[in-house]
Structure 1
Amino acid sequence: MKSWLLAAAAAVSFASAAHAFDGAELYEGEAALYEAAQQEGIVVSFDTGPTWANWAAQFKAFKERYPGVEIVYNDLGSAATVVALEKTKNRPQADTAYYFAGSALDAADKGVVAPFQPVNFEKLPAPFKEAEGRWFTIHTLNIAFLVNTNLVKDVPTSWADLLDEKYANTIVYLDPRSTGQGQVLVFAAALGNGGSMDDIAPGIDYLTKLHQAGNVMRTVGTTPYAQFVKGEIPIYIGYENDGLKAKYTDGMGDAVQVVIPEEASAAAPYAISMVEGAPNPNAAKLWLNFIMTDEGQARFADGFVRPSVPGVALPAEVVEKMPAAPQLQPLDVAKAKEMKAAVDSAWSKAVLGGQ
């Protein structure tokens, strides 16, 4: 880990500091923070792989606005990021860390992240942030129906629709016992069938009915995205962004339709934190504020993930791809984490007969 960081730091030019950006501030105090960040010259961003959630575009926009502040990153994965932060706790290398919010809870519990409340923090729903800012949600991934319209002529729009016999042997979803997405799906099914974060029984009952109806082709332990894109899966209950990526990036075009079920669905939070003892704290704050401004939030939507800040205006071409979905409800990751064993047991017993 040290070698890549040293190489990245060596690549930073510490020549004359760039002048402040032109135009108005995005938020009060931005210019002063930028000046302080220039003295550090770099921000180290853990787990922000450029092909995920439009991070590449965020990097580019950040560098354009803040010359003289380099940004370097790695792509570890959520759980591995927490492990890396813990291992380097005495001599932190990262300034910020991004992960599924369940891992953010672990990072906060281990004391490796610091409180910081960025721009728009107060607008976030309570389940989308730690009260003092040790983590906060920057975008969501949302459970949707990804429908191959070459294989399914009558596109379902609701959880109720999926129970129809015409969808026999068409549905694939991820096993909740071994995947985070599968866990989120159980809560989404509960929310869409009269349940809540505290009452998953309606979700378990619904999935049981779906299996009993013969509509589930299979459940899987790893993402079936490649199989979906190849045309091997009629309906994949998964994350909305995968369907949009298949449609607009990976060649499926009009052969895929992405549907947020009309009753309700779950919005799973992806979060970021400032690292405790960050070596470049001002650059870290500049980066975190940047991605939480309205402009930064809208940029995430270009990568097919929904902004976490309510009411952010999106360009018309983005809205066309990702229309408003007021039925999405925030997943409370603290409750979801507490209930994982109960979800695993209930799903296994009801759906698989205790296997």
Structure 2
Amino acid sequence: MVQDTSMASRRQLLLGGSGALAGAMAGCLGGTDDDGNGGNGGNGGETGHGDNGGNGGTGESGDTGGGTDETYDVGYGDYETTVSAADFPDELRVYAVQTGWSNWDAVMEAFEDEYGVALYDAQGSSGEALQDARSHAQNPTHSAFNGGYSFNLEAMNDGLTTDYKPANWDKVPDELKTDDGHVTATRQMTTAVAYRTDVYEERGLDAPETWEDLKHPDIAQDLAVTPPHTANGLASALSINNAYGGDLDDLDPVIEFHEEIADHGADIRRNIEGDVTSGEISTIVEYDYSGLNMKYNVDEIGEDQLDVAILTGPDGEAGAMTVPYGYALLEGAPNPEVCKLFMDYVLSLDGQEKFFDAFVRPIRANELDQPAEFPEQSAYDAAEFALDQEELVEKQEEIQTELTDRTPLPGAQ
């Protein structure tokens, strides 16, 4: 098992402090959306194919990354091949690989250190990325699509992706990858609520346990949710909807919930980390990752000032949607060789562990030690649920449009 890192080391691993994390709360299904030390380049021409980094390298110099004489083994099964650093660009573009989200900062830096290729800081949500990929379908500007799993499936259904099974593809659960190798999940998050414990104490409020608790006027007055066109915003809405008996064909429960909290001042916001750390917002509906990362990795707020809760419905209904994120190689995209190497790296244990450094659950979490700072597993067991991703894809656009049109919360557009 890979050992858990200390909290101090997590703070050091995440780059840029609060500035780099400014977009973390926005989310990446349609908000802003990884991790480890890449494979070794080999010594004296030796060739390896290991788990960490997903690759081994060959070369006369024994140096790693950026050397034109370096080659790397990539891929899984029929997709195993060798790529050459001579074909690598100075910069690789992958949608929604960006600072301030899922610890991509550390992944980007580690990959560049290992292989000499920088990652473009591709700020933007999964929804925005999908629209851009569609608009550039005839002349792709990015090598891969990264974001909410359902958005990846949409890209696949639009004919934008191509098949590639990265190293360790066999370690990904069957339900979180497509058999044809077009889409592979890399991590997942769960809808949660982050709240200012000091503000709650000042107001005499108990920690929230159910979604019903958020209707309290002293909570709803400065409560925020993220936009429904983002992955986390959509997940938040569907979590509430499920908690009150709704489904993908009936959004009335979440609209009614929005109406009640809107009456007390709740709204929809993006990029609100600063609003939380300053105390302007006392409660935010987002992912467990966002709250935990802010609690333990952001210097502007003390660990004792923020906590994270996984909520059920008022009568114990499941109210915390689990959302997978993943990637897909784009059809006809530039620089596919180094992109395959990057995809391998993200799915390696070194890469996967970097997700945990920022409290994002990697898809290979069962092979790693989960940080103790996560909420109790019993809370997840009581509240978590998952949707069929194919069904969600079929209805996602219609759901987002309906939520945007019907919600009374300001800031949805």
TM-score between both structures, scaled by the size of structure 1: 0.74
CA contact (8 A) 1:197 1:331 kept: no
Matched, 1:290 2:345: yes
Cα distance in 2 between the residues matched to 1:346 and 1:275: 30
Q: Is the 8 A contact 2:127 2:230 kept in 1?
A: no
Asked if structure 2 preserves the Cα contact closer than 8 Å seen for 1:172 and 1:217, the reply is no
Structure 2 CA distance for partners of 1:28 and 1:250, relative to 1, 3 Å: closer
Distance 1:217 1:293, change over 3 A: same
The residue that corresponds to 1:256 in the other structure is: 306
Query: Does 1:56 pair with 2:105?
Result: yes
What SS is found at the alignment partner of 2:92?
strand
Inter-partner Cα distance in structure 2 for 1:92 and 1:347: 29
Match of 1:192? Answer: 243
| SS class of match (2:73) | helix
SS in 2 for 1:150: helix
CA distance in 2, matches of 1:71, 1:121: 28
**1:36 is aligned to 2:83:** yes
CA drift at 1:197: 4.6
Paired AA for residue 236 in structure 2: L
Point out where structure 2 has 5 or more consecutive residues left out of the alignment.
1-40, 57-71, 75-81, 313-317
Q: Which moved more, 1:328-337 or 1:259-268?
A: 328-337
| Separation in 2, partners of 1:21, 1:87 | 43
Q: Is the 8 A contact 1:241 1:304 kept in 2?
A: yes
Does 2:385 align with 1:329? yes
Query: Which of 62, 66, 72 does residue 119 from structure 2 map onto?
Result: 72
Separation in 2, partners of 1:30, 1:45: 20
The one-letter code matched in structure 2 to 1:293 is: S
Assess if the C-alpha contact under 8 Å between 2:160 and 2:330 holds in 1: yes
The DSSP-based 3-state class of the residue aligned with 2:145 is strand
The change in CA–CA distance for 1:89 and 1:260 in structure 2 (over 3 A counts) is: same
Q: 1:241 to 1:27 in 2, by over 3 A?
A: closer
1:1-355 aligned at under 5 Å gives the runs 19=43, 25-26=50-51, 30-31=55-56, 33=73, 35-42=82-89, 44-47=92-95, 48-64=97-113, 66-67=114-115, 70-77=117-124, 78-86=126-134, 89-90=137-138, 92-118=140-166, 119-120=168-169, 123-124=172-173, 126=175, 128-153=176-201, 154-163=206-215, 167=219, 169-174=221-226, 176=228, 179-197=230-248, 200-208=251-259, 216-248=264-296, 249-253=298-302, 254-262=304-312, 263-309=318-364, 311-314=366-369, 318-321=371-374, 324=377, 325-326=380-381, 327-332=383-388, 334-337=390-393, 338-342=395-399, 345=402
RMSD of the TM alignment (CA)?
3.7
CA distance in 1, matches of 2:335, 2:276: 42
Note the residue ranges of structure 1 that are not aligned, 5 or more in a row: 1-16
Q: Deviations over 1:244-293 (max 9, x none)?
A: 24322142221111112154301233321112134443332222122113
Are 1:200 and 1:343, in contact at CA under 8 Å, matched by a contact in 2? Answer: no
TM-score after normalising by structure 2: 0.65
Q: Distance in 2 between matches of 1:309 and 1:194?
A: 32
Cα displacement (A) at 1:296:
1.8
Distance in 2 between residues matched to 1:184 and 1:207, nearest whole Å: 14
**Per the alignment, in what secondary structure is the counterpart of residue 98 of structure 1?**
strand
| Structure 2 CA distance for aligned equivalents of residues 345 and 288 of structure 1 | 35
AA in 2 matched with 1:158: T
Q: Give the whole-Å Cα distance in 1 for the aligned partners of 2:46 and 2:295.
A: 37
Amino acid at match of 1:161: D
Deviation of 1:342 after TM superposition, in Å, equals 4.8
Q: Aligned partners of 1:194 and 1:27: how far apart in 2?
A: 44
Q: Which moved more, 1:38-47 or 1:282-291?
A: 38-47
Verify the 8 A CA contact 1:98 1:273 in the aligned structure 2: yes
Task: State the identity %.
Answer: 21
Call closer, same or farther: CA 1:266–1:232 in 2, change over 3 Å: same
**Inter-CA distance 267–346: structure 2 relative to 1 (3 Å threshold):** same
Offset at residue 46 of structure 1 (A): 1.9
